[in-house]
Amino acid sequence: MKKIINEPVDYVKEMLEGLYIAHKDQITYTNDDVHCLITTNKKDGKVGIATGGGSGHLPLFLGYVGDGMLDGCSVGDVFQSPSAEQMLEVTKAIDAGAGVLYIYGNYNGDIFNFDMAAEMADMEEDIKVESVVAGDDVASADDTAATNTRRGVAGIVLVYKCAGAAADKMMNLDEVKRVAEKAAGNVRTMGVALTPCIVPRVGKAGFSIAEDEMEIGMGIHGEKGIRTGKLAKADEIVDEVLEKILGDLPHAKGDEVVVLVNGLGATSLDEQYIVTRRINQHLAEKGLAVHKYYVGEYATALEMAGFSISVLKLDDELKQLIDAPANTPFFKQI
């Protein structure tokens, strides 16, 4: 394992300490626990939005706490859920009198702990909490089940953006939840991995991919994808991924979309823009208009090589919310 760290056990704590030093004007923590990250700019009467999840995915999840997006984030160890108690402390700190909305990924540990935190917030603190569970990964399950069993991946960033803008417009809790549900219901994601990643406490890769292979549909913790195959050219990979995404996302010619091209941690921007070029060609062939591109690292898996594509279908409301300004340590839009 080659990583620029001190002791593996201190990996998350020291990462968080560095973040607070670098972004002290935007983020701090509560309850004397660096894992309970909150905004420094709390607005009275605004719906608070909280997220949370395991470390190892920067900028996800904590990188989107700031103006126009989230208000707090509970931070777990690498690929591990934070505790319900940490989520409760974040909830208490960000409540500004209008209730709190939880937006988090569709993983069992997060669901269990967020549900427990919501119950404690209601019973112990009289804080009304609503939840939206994001599951945008089309590779992890089909859409025939009664409930969404798909993993939450990079598309959750676009849900944060829409819900955060709605809260910033001082919509009430029910309306912010409605917006988040609409965005979550209209975003689809699929990823491609070229290499594994190494959890610091483990010290070795949890799985292997041959030098000449790729995994289509792999999750951001190394979950199995839909197929392993020989590494293809960029255009061929994009076409396969977009066919899966668009085959699952209801759309019509002339629809507008937002596209998020996400590096998984060890993919150069050069490669990401090569991918973006082909996405633009493919969507034009399908008669879809791209309103906005986001290209970069938005939801990583430590040092995994690969990328994901997220597509959000817009309506007039979501388009306005996507375009609203935001300013967080890792997301800036004027």
Asked if 150 and 138 touch (Cβ cutoff 8 Å), the reply is yes
Whether the Cβ atoms of residue 204 and residue 198 lie closer than 8 Å to each other? yes
Q: Collect all residues with Cβ–Cβ distance below 8 Å to 258 and sequence separation of at least 6.
A: 158, 290, 291, 292, 293, 294, 311, 312, 314, 322
Q: In this structure, how many other beta carbons lie within 10 angstroms of the beta carbon of residue 49?
A: 28
Spatial separation of the C-alpha atoms in residues 294 and 292, rounded to whole Å:
7
Spatial distance between the Cα atoms of 19 and 53, rounded to a whole number of angstroms: 17
Contacts of 159 (CB under 8 A, 6+ apart): 103, 132, 134, 180, 183, 184, 187
196 preceded by a cis bond (ω within 30 of 0): no
Residue with tokens 């219901």: 185
Six-digit token string for 162: 């829409």
Tokens representing 8 are 């593996």
Using CA atoms, how far residue 138 sits from 120, 126, 207, in Å, is: 33, 37, 22
**Is residue 57 among the annotated active site residues?**
yes
Which one from 35, 221, 251, 282 is the annotated catalytic residue? Answer: 221
Per the annotation, the verdict on 282 as an active-site residue is no
> Which of the following is catalytic: 23, 35, 57, 282?
57
Radius of gyration from C-alpha coordinates of the chain: 19
Residue type, position 333, single letter: Q
Annotated active-site positions, please? 57, 221
